[in-house]
Structure 1
Amino acid sequence: MDGERQGDGRLAERLRALTGGGFPVAGAVVGPGGTVTASVGAGLGADYEIGSVSKGVTGLLYADALERGEVTAGTPLGALLPLADAPAGGVTLGALATHRSGLPRVPGSARPWRRTIALWRHGTNPYGEDLAALIDQTRAVRLGPPRPRYSNLGFELLGHALATAAGTSYAELVAERIGGPLGLDRFYLPADPSGLRPGALAGTTRRGRPREPWTGEALGPAGGIRADIGSMARFTAALLDGTAPGTAALEPVASFSGGTRIGAAWITVRLRDLSVTMHNGGTGGFRSWLGLDRGSGTGVVVLAAASVPVDRPGFALLTEDRPRT
C-alpha cells in the first residue's frame, strides 16, 4: 500500500514517516506560498470520513446564520425543532456551539454502551439514525449543568436547527453555503452507504479490521462529512483567507478544557509560542486533523483511513513545514 504515492513527494514521505504507514493517508499544507497535497496508499481523489471536523463546518454555518440574521445566539432549540415540550428545547444555539448545553455526548436512550460494544466486536456504525429518531431520543434527555462538555448530540441538533432556519436539510445547507461556493468537488454527506461516491475509502482499525462507514442523516452536523484531500486543502485555504462563510466561528469566545479556548466548535490551543486553531475527528475507521496558524496564514490537514491518531503528525507538519511552489 505504501508504494502508491501521489502528489508532492516530500510531503508524501513525511506523511508515511509520521504516521507509520500501512493504511491510506493524505495531507495538505496550505500557506502564503501556495498549497501542496500528497497521498500515500490511495489516489489523491480518494475520499475519507472527516469525523468531528464536521463540527467545525457546523460552527461556520452557525456563525454565517448569525450574520444573515436567520438565528441569534439566544434562539432556543424548541423554536426550530419539535422539542419545545422537552428539556432540550430550552437550550440555546449559542450554548450548543460552545459545548455548554448540558447535553450528554449521546442520548442514553440510544444505548451507547451497546452500540460501542457492537462497534468494537463487529465494526458496525453506531450513528445510523434519521432526524426523526434523533428527535425522539432527545426528548428523554435530562440536562446537566451548563459547563464545558463535549457533545455529539449537541452538534447534531445545532446543525439540523440551522438547516430548519434556512428552510432546507443539513446536507443541502453544506452544499449550498460551503461546498458549492468554495468549489469543493468532493465534500458531501452520504445518508447511507449507497450514497458513497466512487473513490470512497473503507476505514479500518489500527490492526486492519474493517469498519462500516459512518453514515446517517442525524450524524451529519457532528461527524458525517466525507471529503478528499483536494477539497480539504481548498477548504483550509478559504478559512485562512476569510472567503469561507462564517469565519467568525474561529474566534475563541470562552474557555474550554485543558487551558484551551473555543469559538463555534473551533478550539484554540497554545503550542509553545504558536497559537493553533484546530479541530480533529475520529470515526470507527478514520482519523482527521485540521490546524491553522492564522498568524502566518498557514494550515495543515491530515486524513487517515484507519483508527490511528493523526494529531501529532498534523502539529508536526504545521510547525516544521511551509508550502512550496
Structure 2
Amino acid sequence: MTAGTHGDQQLATRLGELLGPRHPIAAAAVVTSAGTRVASRATNLDANLDADYEIGSVTKAVTGLLYADALTRGEITPDTRLGELLPLADAPAARVTLRSLSTHRSGLPRLPKSARPWRRTLSLWRHGTNPYGEDVEQLLTQTRDVPLGTPRSRYSNLGFELLGHALARAADTTYPELIQQRIAIPLELDCFYVPRSADELRPGALNGRSRRGRPRQPWTGEGLGPAGGIRASITSMARLTAAILDGSAPGLAALDPVAPIGGRARIGAAWITVQVKGRPITWHNGGTGGFRSWLGLDRSTGTGVVVLSATAASVDRQGFALLTEHAGVSGR
C-alpha cells in the first residue's frame, strides 16, 4: 500500500486524481449494491479511516432525517411552531413552523444581526477563529430580536439551528444526545458526534486548514450543532449512506423533494434534488473554516458517495463526478 493512503487503493488513487494537491488530507466512500469501499489519502499518516472531519452543513441533512423521524413518532407536526417548543415568548420567530424551517422557507435570515456575522467572518479570515460558539440560551437571546422576512426560499443557518434544538426539546433531550440516540447508536456509527467545545473533540480529530493552507480553529458550539456541528469519520459516513440507501436509517421521507429551491432544484427536509444526466441526484454539501464535505445519492441505482476534506476548498464537483462514475456502473 502506498504511504499516506488507507483503505481501498483504487479509490484512494481516484480520489487523488480528482482532488489533486489542493486537498492533502481527504477521504471518500462509495456505496453500491455490490458493497462499500472507503479510502483516505494524507501527507499525515495519522489521518486514517477513523480520523474525524467536520462535515459542516451536511449536518443539516442529518437534522432533516431527525425532523422526518419526529413526524413519524408523533412528537411534532409540520405545523408545530417554534414557540411551542422553545422559550421565545412573543418573538416573531415563535410563529415559524417546523415545516418552513425544514425547507428554508421560514423568513429567518442566514444569521441574526446581533451575532455580528461580518465581524466574525473577518476574524475567521484574519485569525482562523471559530465564528460560532454560542450555547442554546445565547442563541435564543439572539433569535428573540430577529424580524421575519418574506417566507420565501432563503438558506438559513439560524433556521436549522432552531429546528434541531426544537426537535431535541420535543424529545426531552439535547441535540448531541438526539444524534446519539436516533442516528449514531442504532446505525453503529462509531465516530459521529456533536462536540459543544474543542475540549470534547475525540482523539483523531483532524485540524482543518484554509484554501491557502492556514490553520483554522474547530467549529464547535452548542448552538451551531444542528446546522453544522457534526464531526464524523469516513467509515461512519459510509455506514450512514448505506443505511439511507437500504432503508434502515430513520426519517427517509426527508429526502423526498417538496418545494423549489432555486433553478430546477427542489428540496425536501434539507436534502436537495437535482437532475444530472437525466437522473435525480439527492445531495447536500458542507463547509466550515477548515473543511469541506459532500454526500450524494443516486437512489434509482442504489449508489451513494461521500467526499470529506480537511481543506476549505469545494469538493462538490469531484463528488458529483465520483457519483456519476459509479452510478453509471451500478445502473447497467
Once the two structures are superposed, the pairs formed by residues 1-325 of structure 1 within 5 Å of their partners are 3-21=3-21, 22-41=23-42, 42-321=47-326
> Secondary structure of 1:212's partner?
coil
Matches of 2:310 and 2:59, distance apart in 1: 16
Bigger drift between 269-278 and 102-111 goes to 269-278
Aligned mates of 1:23, 1:128 — CA distance in 2: 28
Corresponding residue pairs, total: 323
Q: Given residue 13 of structure 1, which amino acid in structure 2 is its aligned partner?
A: T
**Cα deviations by residue, 1:20-75 (Å, 9 ceiling, x for unpaired):** 13521000000100000000002111100000000001000000000000000000
- Give the match's secondary structure for 1:37: strand
Residue segments in structure 2 that go unaligned for 5+ positions in a row: none
Any conservation in 1 of the 2:303–2:326 contact (CA below 8 Å)?
no
SS across alignment from 1:75 = coil
Give per-residue Cα distances to partners, 1:125-181, cap 9 Å, x unaligned.
011100000000001101110000000000000000000000000000000000000
Calculate the TM-score normalised by the size of structure 1: 0.98
Deviation at 1:121, TM superposition (A): 0.2
SS in 2 for 1:308: coil
Do the aligned partners of 1:77 and 1:84 also contact (CA within 8 Å) in 2? no
- Moved beyond 6 Å, runs of 4+: none
Kindly state the Cα deviation for residue 321 of structure 1 after the two structures are TM-superposed: 2.5
- Mapped to 1, the partners of 2:211 and 2:10 lie a distance apart of 24
1:85 offset after TM fit, Å? 1.0
1: CA distance, partners of 2:154 / 2:274: 17
The answer (yes or no) to whether the contact 2:160–2:226 under 8 Å persists in 1 is yes
Task: Please identify, of 265-274 and 298-307, the stretch whose mean Cα deviation from structure 2 is larger.
Answer: 265-274
Q: Secondary structure at the match of 1:105?
A: coil
In 1: Cα distance, 2:211 partner to 2:8 partner: 25
Output the amino acid matched with 1:298: T
Distance 1:16 1:132 in 2: 43
8 Å contact 1:84–1:90 — kept in the other structure?
no
How far the C-alpha of 1:84 sits from its partner, in A, is: 3.0
RMSD over aligned Cα, in angstroms? 1.1
- The CA distance in 2 between the partners of 1:274 and 1:213, in whole Å, is 36
Matched position secondary structure for 2:185: helix
Question: Distance between the aligned counterparts of 2:118 and 2:224, measured in 1?
Answer: 17
